Amino acid sequence: MTPVIETSGLTKQYGEVRAVSDLTLTVKPGEVFGFLGPNGAGKSTTIDMLLDYVRPTAGTVRVFGLDPRADIKEIHARMGVLPDGVALYDRLTGRHHLEFAIGVKGADDTVEDLLDRVSLDRVAATRRVGSYSRGMRQRLALAMALVGSPDLLVLDEPQNGLDPHGMREMRDIICAEADRGATVFFSSHILSEVEAVADRVGIMNRGVLVAVDSIDSLRTDLEGGVIVDLVVEGAVDEDALAAIDYVTIGVVGQSLTVECSQDVQKSALIADIEATGVTVTDVGTRRASLEDLFTAFTTDVDSTDQSTVGAGVPESETDETQEVTA
Amino acid sequence: MNWTYVARKDFADAVRSKLALSLLALFSLLALFSVAVPRLILGPDATVQESLGLIAGPVQLVVPFAALVVAYLAIAGERESGSLKLLLSFPLTRRDVVVGKLVGRSGVVVLGVVTGFLVSAALVVALYGSLPVVSFAVFVGVTALFAVAYVGIAVGLSGFVASRGRAIAAALSFVVVMEFFWDLVPTGLYYLLNGAMPGQQLPAWYFLLDRLSPSGAYTYAVELVARVGAAGLVTTSDSSAETAAAIAPLADRLVGEVPFYLEGWSAIAILVLWGTVPVALGYLRFRRADL
């Protein structure tokens, strides 16, 4: 079966900055793929290349086996897109927007049905979009993306501007579309949103795809995992700590974060750590979550692998904070 | 033919703007004053020709600004706001977008021009009792072509730039160069070559340069209308020597034979080129752009 999305060595360079680096990714038909990463990680740039808004510096993109540069009409006829930071036409009504989408796609959807699917008020649809709230705009844009029952939905940060209720409805719509047989590719910086609906996730950090796996196997990897947080006194010898080979230790000042399996004896661990020349003054233990994994993936590149790619990639978002909400 | 959806969307969008409404009002007012003023000043002696002839001047000044204002953000505005990404998420090529924009915005400006002229036609009939229908229609047609040429220029410039600010700068620069300084080009070049100001007898290239700007071409095209339409829309009673000279048959003022590029239709051809070449260049640039 032809993959719905297939990229190979995909790279986008803006001057000195490499927004996306050597991205190789395959999304199979019927999959719900969550594209996860902090703002500025290269998610939007990747989506822009899938949609032919931005042209790759190197590498290839195929959507439905077709080249976006050559066959954009064929591809977009089978695709629904929710662009990031949805900008609509303020002077036109919601109905105008949907009628445009239905017309240009040659679809047989009705405006009323689309409004109902995204829970937009029919009266609101007669008003100019300029008067809409952010959530209403997001719903209208989603309704436009659903026109023509597309084979592929590309949703860039679909939960933006939605309240918790709206976010749940968005999840339900994504699941309903997947049940219909559509492939869904959606990006998010909110882990819980991705976790709730995605079959598989790809984690981007600083332009690099640092992990691709199913939620289940990510969870399996973590099973039984424990995080031990320690506060120590005395000079921290990072090399000596790294030599303790049955755990992974992160150091921030006098705080140590130790990832280990449940079998590890805490007393033995503390003894080994104190053997490096420090005194442990405080110990806390918690179970590892997907969030820890996400945090590990999106910060490790920072501290241990800086040579991989250009740092500080500005994406279209202005917000550069590495916000992760569980 | 997916560009038709872009054109309809764009027309519907632009027609709802206060801008388009004020344009319509401006054109109508302009037409009213142009037709009514000679009658009021000259009294019952004023002719239809004198009245209509007065419209050409203000039209030549207002149409470029109106067209640029309506169309300069056609592409750059949507690019800056991000709505272009929504538009292009549908089965549309970038060519569909450019063609749709050109047609949609042209529709708005032509609507303004036609409304203005209809108002003036109604007033002409009311004041003078009759209207030279054929020359009037051709006059409206040439003016509409002039307006579309400027929309083409604006959409083309809009495709070249990525932001509103640059789009404004490009449109303003163009109108200043073409509407205010272009007149100096043939004169200046003549002076450089001959060491004297242009006289009554001039070489063919002088006339070509003179009609190469959009409004230059429009002036000549209107002159063509004046000769085609027996009624003579452009007033010849204007006392200024400059106008008289411009209206004088070209052959009398030209050194040598009238070359093909100075035939009457060439002004029309130049307007068509202004309406197509800049927008084609803008498209070629826009086609390659990262949004």
Question: The complex's ipTM?
Answer: 0.83
Distance CA A82, CA A92 (A): 18
At residue B12's C-alpha, the angle toward residues A143 and B59, to 5°, is 160
Distance CA A286, CA B289 (A): 50
Chain B closest CA to A279's CA: distance in Å? 56
The tally of CA atoms less than 13 A away on the side-chain side of residue B164 is 6
Model confidence over A5-58: pLDDT tens digits? 999 999 999 988 999 999 999 999 999 999 998 888 999 999 999 999 999 999
Nearest to A73 among B5, B9, B91 (CB): B91
Among chain B residues, the shortest Cα distance to A90 is held by B13
pLDDT at A250: 81
Is some CB atom of chain B closer than 8 A to the CB atom of A101? yes
Q: Which of B172 and A326 is assigned the larger pLDDT? A: B172
Secondary structure of A90-156 in the HEC alphabet?
CCCEHHHHHHHHHHHHCCCCCHHHHHHHCCCCCCHHHCEHHHCCHHHHHHHHHHHHHCCCCCEEEEE
From chain B, which residues contact A within 8 Å (Cβ)? Answer: 2, 5-6, 8-9, 12-13, 16-17, 78, 81-83, 85-86, 88-93, 288, 290-291
Q: What percent of chain A has pLDDT over 70?
A: 87
Q: Is A72–B2 a contact, with Cβ atoms under 8 angstroms apart? A: no
For the sheet with A17-27, list strands across it: A17-27, A5-14, A58-63
pLDDT at A223: 62
Chain B closest CA to A96's CA: distance in Å? 8
Q: What is the mean pLDDT of each run of 10 residues along chain B (291 residues)?
A: 92 86 81 76 68 72 88 91 94 96 94 87 82 81 93 94 90 88 88 85 86 88 64 40 50 76 84 95 94 87
Task: Quickly count: other Cβ atoms within 10 Å of residue A93's Cβ.
Answer: 21
Domain that includes residue B59, residue range: 3-288
Contacts of A197 (CB under 8 A, 6+ apart): A32, A34, A171, A174, A175, A178, A184
Q: Is A104–B5 a contact, with Cβ atoms under 8 angstroms apart? A: yes
Model confidence over A131-171: pLDDT tens digits? 999 999 999 999 999 999 999 999 999 988 888 898 999 99
Nearest to A89 among B83, B92, B291 (CB): B83
CATH architecture of A223-287: 2-Layer Sandwich (3.30)
Model confidence over B144-155: pLDDT tens digits? 999 999 999 999
The mean-pLDDT minimum among A215-224, A315-324, B27-36 falls in A315-324
End-to-end CA distance of chain B: 23
The answer on pLDDT for A93 being more than 80 is: yes
Model confidence over A225-277: pLDDT tens digits? 778 888 998 888 888 888 887 777 888 888 888 877 767 788 888 888 888 88
Of the residues A104, A109, A131, A187, the best mutation for testing chain B's interface (the one with the most B CB atoms within 10 Å of its CB) is A104
CA distances from B249 to A72, B239, B242 (A): 54, 17, 13
User: pLDDT band for position A4 (50/70/90)?
Assistant: very high
The percent helix, strand, coil of chain A (3-state, each to 5) is 35, 30, 35
User: pLDDT band for position A310 (50/70/90)?
Assistant: very low
User: pLDDT band for position A299 (50/70/90)?
Assistant: low
* C-beta separation of B144 from B275 below 8 A: no
Residue with tokens 């109106």: B66
pLDDT at B48: 66
Superfamily name and number for A5-214: P-loop containing nucleotide triphosphate hydrolases (3.40.50.300)
Partners of residue A77 in chain B, C-beta under 8 Å? 91
Ramachandran bin of B205, using left for φ above 0, alpha for ψ from -120 to 50, beta for the remaining angles: alpha
What is the domain partition of chain A in residue ranges?
A: 5-214, 223-287
Q: Is A87–B85 a contact, with Cβ atoms under 8 angstroms apart? A: yes
Is some CB atom of chain B closer than 8 A to the CB atom of A53? yes
pLDDT at B238: 40
Q: Is B89–A72 a contact, with Cβ atoms under 8 angstroms apart? A: no
Among chain B residues, the shortest Cα distance to A73 is held by B91
Nearest to A92 among B13, B82, B85 (CB): B13
Q: Is A76–B16 a contact, with Cβ atoms under 8 angstroms apart? A: no
Partners of residue A85 in chain B, C-beta under 8 Å? 82
Q: How many domains is chain B partitioned into structurally?
A: 1
